[in-house]
Structure 1
Amino acid sequence: MAEPTQVLDEVLDDLRAETEALEGVVAALPAAGWATPTPAPGWTVAHQIAHLAWTDERALLAATDPDAFRREAAALTAGPDPAAFIDEGAARG
């Protein structure tokens, strides 16, 4: 069985490789390219990238400050539409 640090290293290496591959696809996009629709209804490439960045930030918060993550999650899902924060965050990003 792999050691926990070995597993973490493998996961982080994979994340770095995926990030580099994605950056290679979007880094040179012209402004119009960022407005390209994606299969997610109502989302553009810009929305999708913002969502991925937001998700990475939340994962980092969960790993480094679980109490703050729980407070934020509770606040985000407390409204009448508990999933609205996903689209709202993507639009802000």
Structure 2
Amino acid sequence: MAFLSALTVGTPEAFEAVPGLTPALQAIGTRAYQEASAQAYKTVFLTTLAFSGVGIVVSYWCPNVDKLLVGNVTVTLGDSVTEKIDEKSQP
């Protein structure tokens, strides 16, 4: 745990505070942390790629909903909002 904290800080003083840490162990631990981080990003990237690919393929079968977007507002949020919009739209 102390090594990970020192790795996060990244200063020589932080690494000196880790008990029993030698330069060889520091190099091995740093490289292992880099490899683990790269593998985590790779996993996230590939998962995102898979879901995006499926989403794009499935979107070809989605119906066109443009006819349903008519711009009608069912509920107004409040008079103060409407008044501010009306004031801005008038010259």
| TM value normalised by structure 1 | 0.32
| TM value normalised by structure 2 | 0.32
Structure (1 or 2) with the larger CA radius of gyration: 2
Instruction: Determine which structure has greater relative contact order: mean sequence separation of CA pairs < 8 Å that are 6+ residues apart, divided by chain length.
Output: 1
